[in-house]
Amino acid sequence: MHPSRPYTVAVLGATGAVGREMLKVLDEHRFPVGELVPLASERSVGEEVLLGNRPFRCKLAEPDAFEGVDIVLASAGGSVSRKLLPEAVKRGAVCIDNSSAFRMDVDVPLVVPEVNPEAVAVHKGIIANPNCSTIQMVVALKPLHDEAQIKRVVVSTYQSVSGAGKKGMDELSKQTVALLNFRPYDVEVHSARIAFNCVPHIGPFIEDDYTQEELKLVYETRKIFGEPEMRVNPTAVRVPVFAGHSESINIEFEKPITPGRARELLGEFPGVVVVDKPHEKQYPMAIDAAERDEVFVGRIRKDRSVDHGLSLWCVADNLRKGAATNAVQIAKLLDAWWHAAQA
């Protein structure tokens, strides 16, 4: 028995940067929410959040809060997800988790709706949302991979501070103001001063001196494509941008593919906007991607250093397509599937 419209939807971590974005996207996409259950840690219980213009007060995130919930959108960090989502599943909810807690579990589908929607069908209560930098990259790669088969990817990221939440954004503001006023500044959230600087360090260093953020680009991409050997070399860098991740992506293919053909394929692909008239200063930029749901791709050009190569520049709002939008899109896949099963 599948749940039926409208759904009781819990948002776990409702007061965080991604949680608030999830509420906005649920409303904008007119997702059939019957009852909303915003959940937060003790610190934020009672805080008000909005769905459209309807106010809701956050309840405590605890196992019994999931009674009667159909869908959980979770963005409260890995340890909270690990503790609470199995409780939600026990109580009959399907969880879409934005943390990295379950992403690599064999039993948990890792889904980007434009790329591997079919994976949703095999969930056991938890579906994982990939990392922001992975989501936008796989969307840009998918139609090209289908056409010419990817041999190897080299990606360098230019990641905004909103990837570190509201406190990451606040630190950039505060440091910028301090520096412009010749005052001292604090470094607490990012690994080093981020204002007017680039920091090649996001997340802990875990394997061969790669960061966790970098390895997500390797392992999550392989899992989403179902290509366990896909070759990806990543460098993840934090830059002083408030919102929107940019990525410089170089791709070697097995088969020939021209920039024109890539533009055509990407232009037809759902969720992608091609912005590629460089002579008219039209290329994707973080400031243009803010608050948008799509992945923007441009600077598509032939890489003459290999037989079949392309380079491109890919930008998306990391809080939207990189997190909230992708999660809501997964909820919409579930809705469509359940609705079809009942029809």
Residue 303 found at the interface with a second copy (CB under 8 A)? yes
Q: Which of 55, 247, 290 is nearest to 141 (CA)?
A: 247
* Residue 50 vs 285, nearer CB to a second copy: 285
Q: Catalytic residue among 58, 95, 123, 132, which? A: 132
Other beta carbons within 10 angstroms of residue 245's beta carbon come to 29
Q: How far is the CB of 155 from a second copy (least distance, A)?
A: 9
Copy the structure tokens of residue 192: 């080093």
Residue 156 found at the interface with a second copy (CB under 8 A)? yes
Which residue in the set 83, 193, 222, 292 belongs to the binding site for a second copy (CB under 8 A)? 193
Cβ neighbours of residue 270 under 8 Å, at least 6 residues apart? 114
* Residue 80 vs 251, nearer CB to a second copy: 251
Copy the structure tokens of residue 162: 């909103």
Residue 166 found at the interface with a second copy (CB under 8 A)? no
Residue 329 found at the interface with a second copy (CB under 8 A)? no
Which residue in the set 15, 134, 246, 326 belongs to the binding site for a second copy (CB under 8 A)? 246
176 class by beta-carbon count within 10 Å (0-12 exposed, 13-18 middle, 19+ buried): middle
Residue 154 found at the interface with a second copy (CB under 8 A)? yes
List strands edge to edge, sheet with 59-60.
59-60, 33-40, 7-12, 71-74, 94-97, 126-128
DSSP 273-313: EE--BGGGTB---HHHHTT--SEEEEEEEE-TTSSSEEEEE
Contacts (CB under 8 A) with a second copy, residues 248-267: 248, 250, 259
Copy the structure tokens of residue 325: 């939008």
Contacts (CB under 8 A) with a second copy, residues 20-39: none
Q: How far is the CB of 46 from a second copy (least distance, A)?
A: 31
Q: Clarify whether 132 is annotated catalytic.
A: yes
Question: How many amino acids of this chain bind a second copy (CB under 8 A)?
Answer: 57
Residue 59 found at the interface with a second copy (CB under 8 A)? no
Residue 300 found at the interface with a second copy (CB under 8 A)? yes
Q: Are 116 and 317 in contact (CB under 8 A)?
A: no
CA atoms of 341 and 54, how far apart (whole Å): 31
* Torsion angle (degrees, nearest 10) of CA 121, 39, 44, 168: 10
Q: Clarify whether 314 is annotated catalytic.
A: no
Task: Please identify every residue annotated as catalytic.
Answer: 132, 245
Residues contributing to the site for a second copy (CB under 8 A): 152-154, 156, 158, 172-173, 176-177, 180, 191-193, 196-201, 205, 208-211, 231-233, 235, 237, 239-242, 246, 248, 250, 259, 278-279, 281, 283-287, 298-306, 309, 311, 313
